[in-house]
Amino acid sequence: MVYFVATPIGNLGEITSRATEVLKSADVIYCEDTRRSALLLKHIGSSAPTRSYHKFNEEQRLKEILQAAREGKNIAIVSDAGMPCVSDPGRVLVNALIEDGLEYTVVSGASAFLNAFVLSGFAAPFTFVGFLPEKKVDFLRGASRRQRKSRLSVRKVGRQESCGNKRNKQNSRKSDFFQSTFVPRTNRY
């Protein structure tokens, strides 16, 4: 069985008991960054072996993960923070699991865009189009287009950077952005 496991966003204490159980009992854990995941695994007392699984080796690891799933191994997929497949590796694997008829499931937990939605004060329904680009030039280039498509955008930013509320000169509608980081915060900009 392949488990797509949500990991905490900033506060290790927010890991769910089910995620802890899956990560402790996994035969192998595929991590976006094994060094970052090692901190979480140490925190919960998991000694399961880890392997890297990121955007640069996703295709390369695919056969290996599928073979382990066919052998009945328990495989966990984790990203650095939040839910795999949202803006992290996993989509290619999910499609391959579906195509091969192999079992997989999701272990719920943290999700940056849901946290941003709750803190934004917006009314439901909402549409999540994706995370904003990390490069400032790409972020600014797409701001006008995003405002027409979605009321809520989330940007992963570093500790010293924030997006803030901005007014687009071409469009007077207010654009709301929530700062989502790997550091526990409750700030809304």
Cβ-in-10-Å burial (0-12, 13-18, 19+) of 31 comes to: buried
- pTM, to two decimals: 0.71
Predicted pLDDT of residue 67? 97
73-84 pLDDT, tens digit per residue, is: 999 999 999 899
